[in-house]
Amino acid sequence: MLKFVIFASVLCLYYVSSVEAISGTTIANKADSHVESTKWSKASSHDTGRNTNKCNIFINDVMKEVGGSVPQRSWWRHSPIGAGEWGNPHSSYLSDDNCWRNVGSPSIGDVMGDGVHVAFYTGYRTTTSARYDKIVKNSWGFRSSGSGAESNTYAYWRYIC
């Protein structure tokens, strides 16, 4: 927004910037737009190469796509934090980043992790994440048993910038 101000017969122009936080809905919608994509599959050569899990890379890439950021393990090279950090409610990488806040329960667009896997919370008892074969939207984190069981311990992180 451009504003005009006149001081003592001198016209001054200045720009007022209003930056809004990235909404959880924006994050969730972007994550969901990749459902069925194989870009982050274990077989894909994207980013970390073939035969590597890429759930953390999916989180990093979606956040970059919406204009956000994810803490990096190294300042000198691309190295997004892994699922272990996302599952740690006391992660120094996330706690030291002013854009991320640990929360007690998830809201749309939050990142949730159990230390082994990480996903976006994209709807009631629903997450979107990189599985070994493709991006899926399912009940990981809310299942009755097994991987992604509701009884597991999760950390929930909210992007606030």
pLDDT in tens, 1-53: 444 444 445 444 444 445 688 999 999 999 999 999 999 999 999 999 999 99
pLDDT in tens, 81-125: 999 999 999 999 999 999 999 999 999 999 999 999 999 999 999
Rounded to whole angstroms, the Cα distance separating 160 from 22 reads 7
User: Quick one: pLDDT band at residue 150, thresholds 50, 70, 90?
Assistant: confident
Please, are residues 51 and 41 in contact by the beta-carbon 8 Å criterion?
no
Other CB atoms closer than 10 Å to residue 111's CB: what's the count? Answer: 26
pLDDT at 146: 79
Domains of the chain by start residue, with CATH: 22-159 (3.90.1720.10)
pTM of the model: 0.87
**Residue 29, token pair as written in the block:** 């919608």
